[in-house]
Structure 1
Amino acid sequence: MPQQEAADRLGIGIARVGLLIANGHLEPVKVPVGGPFVTTASVEAERAWRDNARRPAKLGRVLKDIVRWF
């Protein structure tokens, strides 16, 4: 699915989709024609995680993502 549609489904901005891809939470797909895409399965998995994760899990994920950038 296009990254913009993924952003709409997740209720986030397109820049956040890029961060989720960079951190390995969404899986990019290369297609010969069109814009950037991500797999539908990874978007649905992210959506389910966001719906079910508790605050400590979300905080832990943010901290892990920050550490990956250093």
Structure 2
Amino acid sequence: MTPRDERRYPELLRVPRVADDAWLSQPEAARQLGTALFRVGALLACGHLAPADNSAGRAGVTITSVQAEKAWRDNATYRAKALRLLKDTVGFF
């Protein structure tokens, strides 16, 4: 299997490589956010979490984006959460 960094992905699909201490796997991000792994994928697709690779080339997310998402969830009003859900749903279609 070819390592991720040696594959010829279009520029839009390239993911930044970050230090291991700034990276989380998607299952660990789901645990920290208290949500399902599927939801982490949805948050990535909507741009609420930042994708990143670690030094070994494994896909995951940045710790700062998980912390920002957690802070947003803790402080957002019900109205803000509903508007975000509506925006994400419309953006999906």
TM-score exceeds 0.5: yes
Q: Does 1:38 align with 2:30?
A: no
Paired residues, number: 70
Flag as ranges the 4+ runs of structure 1 deviating above 2 A.
30-36
The CA distance in 2 between the partners of 1:35 and 1:16, in whole Å, is 19
Once the two structures are overlaid, the 10-residue window that deviates more, 44-53 or 27-36, is: 27-36
Task: Provide the aligned C-alpha RMSD in A.
Answer: 1.3
Instruction: Give the unaligned 5+ runs of structure 2.
Output: 1-23
The CA distance in 2 between the partners of 1:34 and 1:15, in whole Å, is 21
Structure with greater Cα Rg: 2
Between the two proteins, what is the percent identity of the paired residues? Answer: 51
Cα deviation 1:12-68 (Å, max 9, x = unaligned): 010100000000000011246364210000000000000000100000000000111
Instruction: Give the unaligned 5+ runs of structure 1.
Output: none
TM-score computed with the length of structure 1 as normaliser: 0.92
The CA distance in 2 between the partners of 1:15 and 1:34, in whole Å, is 21
3-state SS of paired residue (1:26) = coil
